[in-house]
Structure 1
Amino acid sequence: MNSHVGLDDYQLIVRALSDRIVEAQTPIRVLDAVKWDESVRSEFLKHKGKMLPKVDRAYYDSRPLAFDATAKKLEFQNIERDITRQLGQFNPVGQIMRRMCREYRMVIRMLEARGTEDFGLISQDLYGAASDAFHAGDPTLADLGVMFSGFLNNIDSRGDLKDEVKNLNAKAAVDLLQHRLNKVFGEHEDTIRVFESDGILADAAAGADYIKIRTDAMFNERDVKALEVHEGLVHVATTLNGQNQPICTFLAKGPPSSTVTQEGLAILMEVISFASYPTRLRKLTNRTRAIHMAEEGADFLQVFEFYREQGFSLEESYSNANRAFRGSTPTGLPFTKDLSYLKGFIMIYNYIQLAVRKGKLEQIPLLFCGKTTLEDMRTLRQLVDEGLVVPPKYLPPQFSDLNSLSAWMCFSNFLNNLSLDRIEADYANIL
């Protein structure tokens, strides 16, 4: 962490409050608290996916949280009260920090409600629901999932866009990824370690200054490129940028509202660096559809079958269905965190488009100055001007030179105003 040297009284107050938030949230590990253990998986596979997993309220009670929930909520309540006392009701940085305190209290309430109806309801408050609209009259996330599936099926039925063979084992992927990240982050000051791990659900996961690759996963070159931009240039870079903040240290830690920004940026980076591909997109679409099914009353077996019908193995279908029900019960409302990918992508894309339209390009790189939340962006701009927040040290090339991104968004703004249905009719005889 950075030293306090050279900070004035006001900055020291903000820094002290910020550090208290960082300290208080340390033991809250959402994914650890909601995950199902290996015994649930092996039992389910033993019955060949014919029996609902035995996960209920008692199951979670047998796996207590790593902290005292009541004391933790009180701690955040006290920090929030001190923010108001020391900075006043309308101080901009104080408003961001107070919102974080409220959000962390809500996270704790969600974790206390594991295995009950409330768990899924609070999850919707924190991460959204598949049936949420972006704007009145616009398609919902669930509609988007179905629409994407249609496009992807059209692409699939051609049969010639096969994925490249996954010919890199974890060790080869680790070496290649490490080599690429060293080029971006330098090999010395903020080295990012890439290593194998067998304890993770996904193919890869990012920590503060490391990326773990699952030991038994296989990759191809395109996967490694996607990991480089998604885990490296977004998740790890924003953590390091947050850790480089001399005053607003809370930017190194992300509450759920920043998950949407984080995953949105990560997917946007995959798309604009041409690292995404249909199979990867289908993964995100499937996650959205699985959550929507569960919101509409589908149970674990029905979501599991949804994956089986697409040709996934027993194990893969279990893992995929598990993502939607962790923290909940096999017949309960879903854990909606996985909506953040598509939801975040759309919100970030729209944000960048509007920033270009309004000539506010300087706002765009600030998305990377830590674990940011879209609704705070205007305030962050102010905080940079005031010297409370430093601009991001690590930026993907697409964001450090906004020329090409701006040009693309100018076209995009115009193209959005054209009616694709009319064009389709006009192009009928040339397509």
Structure 2
Amino acid sequence: MPLDPYQQTVRDLSDRLVEAQAPIRILDAVKWDDSVRRAFLASGGQRLPEVDRSYYHTRPLAFDAEAKKREFQEIERDITRQLGQFSPVGQIMRRMCREYRMVIRMLEARGTSDFGLISQELYGAASDAFHAGDPTLADLGLMLSDYLNNIASRGDLADEPKTLNAAQAVEILQWRLDRVFGEGEGEGVVRVFESDGIVADAAAGADYIKIRSDAMFNERDLQALEVHEGLVHVGTTLNGLNQPICTFLAKGPPTSTVTQEGLAILMEVIAFASYPSRLRKLTNRTRAIHMAEEGADFIDVYRFFLAQGYGEDDSYGNASRVFRGSAPDGLPFTKDLSYLKGFILIYNYIQLAVRQGKLEQIPLLFCGKATLEDMRTLRQLVEEGLVAPPKYLPAQFRDLNALSAWMCFSNFLNHLSLDRVEADYANIL
């Protein structure tokens, strides 16, 4: 169906925004090359990595920063001129323009304290409270660590041996995702394949999941990858790519990362795909970022991960996630807070949607790379026909019966005092 003049204007502006952000690759711009790892481990973990502002100057950005900021400024100006100051869809796109300019300023500040400060504006800080007087993310990390320590010694909760190689993982994941996303001509809508060029065990793209060729997996790993990378990250990207007008929903700015990662962790939980060692990984990342915010340097964080039972390579990898883009004694890159922070925010959103009887807003989380702040506006845009409802939805969000029942119980249980319950159950547990 052809677009009317207003819809075409929105589509044209949206396409400009998508095109403008294309060369901005945050993780590529902040990562450290392997020579840094080799030098640090060769020193026995005794010398800070030699990463400073001059190091990042040897790895220039893939775009002209000043020209790119002007481009986003011009798009923002044209959004206001063509859609008006109070257009709901225009407000979303203008915020995205401002956020991308902030991203560019952060990348220009690599190796300086400004990098960490801007990171905190985009992703938050571990010391942020969810609500006035409530615990912070750092408090949550410590609390979860206490719970995990209580069950750490149980042999029946230990990770199963990783006996599945990359080829087997590809075959299993491809079959599972074909059941969800369907099959195209000769291949699945979502492709799963091996790759030698990634650091993580797996990585998701727009319509694919790459599996590192030398990685090994167990069944729990594949369940988590299916849910986290497949059903959420690839699913929301495909739903964004299916948008006929608001094409910007296929590309999320940093604030959407918190919503997307939180949704992915929630999906792991409600699909029973999560497990203690995975939760410990997320908890340790939060604690490490808080350490760096409080003044710990790279060696301190590296030793923290060693004390948590990680090997030297994994401890280096985890510590480098905290300081990438920054300096080894600078403020941290706080993106990894997105997992636990996003989980709490998404959980609260769904809980309130159930309490208020607004179930129709829950599936909108999958419309694309959206943010929680845009949910009310997205509902309005769906009603206006500017945004298409999500085509791909996990079973738990297609039929909201079980999720609604869980949230109804949860709303009541939140009013109970866990300390009082623990005292009452002391003689039976």
Cα distance between partner residues in 1 of 2:245 and 2:267: 28
Deviates more, 1:334-343 or 1:38-47: 38-47
In the alignment, which residue of structure 1 is the partner of 2:349? 351
Cα distance between partner residues in 1 of 2:305 and 2:214: 21
SS at 2:150's partner residue? helix
SS at 1:196's partner residue? strand
Cα distance between partner residues in 2 of 1:390 and 1:158: 47
SS at 1:54's partner residue? coil
1:423 to 421, 424, 428: 421
Cα distance between partner residues in 2 of 1:295 and 1:159: 35
Count how many residue pairs are aligned between Structure 1 and Structure 2: 427
In the alignment, which residue of structure 1 is the partner of 2:31? 35
In the alignment, which residue of structure 2 is the partner of 1:105? 101
2:313 to 308, 315, 334: 315
Contact 1:308 1:314 (8 Å CA) reproduced: yes
Cα distance between partner residues in 2 of 1:387 and 1:122: 36
Q: Aligned letter for 2:102?
A: M
In the alignment, which residue of structure 2 is the partner of 1:224? 222
After TM superposition, give the deviation of residue 185 of structure 1 in Å.
0.7
Deviates more, 1:150-159 or 1:120-129: 150-159
Cα distance between partner residues in 2 of 1:85 and 1:236: 34
After TM superposition, give the deviation of residue 198 of structure 1 in Å.
2.5
Deviates more, 1:12-21 or 1:36-45: 36-45
Deviates more, 1:155-164 or 1:13-22: 155-164
Normalised TM-score (structure 1): 0.98
User: Is 1:9 matched with 2:2?
Assistant: no
Cα distance between partner residues in 1 of 2:196 and 2:314: 16
2:279 to 281, 302, 307: 281
SS at 2:157's partner residue? coil
SS at 1:139's partner residue? coil
After TM superposition, give the deviation of residue 333 of structure 1 in Å.
0.3
Q: Aligned letter for 2:362?
A: I
Cα distance between partner residues in 1 of 2:238 and 2:44: 44
After TM superposition, give the deviation of residue 315 of structure 1 in Å.
0.5
After TM superposition, give the deviation of residue 408 of structure 1 in Å.
0.5
Runs of 4+ in 1 over 3 A off after TM superposition: none
Map of 1:32-431 to 2, 5 A cutoff?
Answer: 32-188=28-184, 191-431=189-429
After TM superposition, give the deviation of residue 159 of structure 1 in Å.
3.5
Contact 1:356 1:409 (8 Å CA) reproduced: yes
Cα distance between partner residues in 2 of 1:372 and 1:23: 18
SS at 2:211's partner residue? strand
Q: Aligned letter for 2:148?
A: L
Cα distance between partner residues in 1 of 2:265 and 2:142: 18
Q: Aligned letter for 1:65?
A: L
What runs of 5+ residues in structure 2 fail to find an aligned partner?
none
SS at 1:260's partner residue? helix
After TM superposition, give the deviation of residue 64 of structure 1 in Å.
0.2
SS at 1:160's partner residue? helix
After TM superposition, give the deviation of residue 99 of structure 1 in Å.
0.3
Cα distance between partner residues in 1 of 2:68 and 2:287: 34
Q: Aligned letter for 1:309?
A: A
Cα distance between partner residues in 2 of 1:331 and 1:159: 38
Cα distance between partner residues in 2 of 1:97 and 1:90: 12
Q: Aligned letter for 1:34?
A: V
Cα distance between partner residues in 1 of 2:416 and 2:302: 40
What runs of 5+ residues in structure 1 fail to find an aligned partner?
none
Cα distance between partner residues in 2 of 1:425 and 1:313: 39
After TM superposition, give the deviation of residue 160 of structure 1 in Å.
3.1
Contact 1:260 1:340 (8 Å CA) reproduced: yes
Post-superposition CA distance 1:107-149 (Å, at most 9, x none): 0000000000100000000000000000011100000000000
Q: Aligned letter for 1:275?
A: A
Cα distance between partner residues in 2 of 1:142 and 1:212: 32
Cα distance between partner residues in 2 of 1:217 and 1:326: 23
Cα distance between partner residues in 1 of 2:170 and 2:34: 25
Q: Aligned letter for 1:401?
A: D
Cα distance between partner residues in 2 of 1:67 and 1:154: 49
Normalised TM-score (structure 2): 0.98
Identity percentage over the alignment? 81
In the alignment, which residue of structure 1 is the partner of 2:21? 25
SS at 1:205's partner residue? strand
Post-superposition CA distance 1:148-176 (Å, at most 9, x none): 00000001133432111111111111111
| RMSD over equivalenced CA pairs, Å | 0.9
Post-superposition CA distance 1:16-50 (Å, at most 9, x none): 00000000000000000000001111111222211
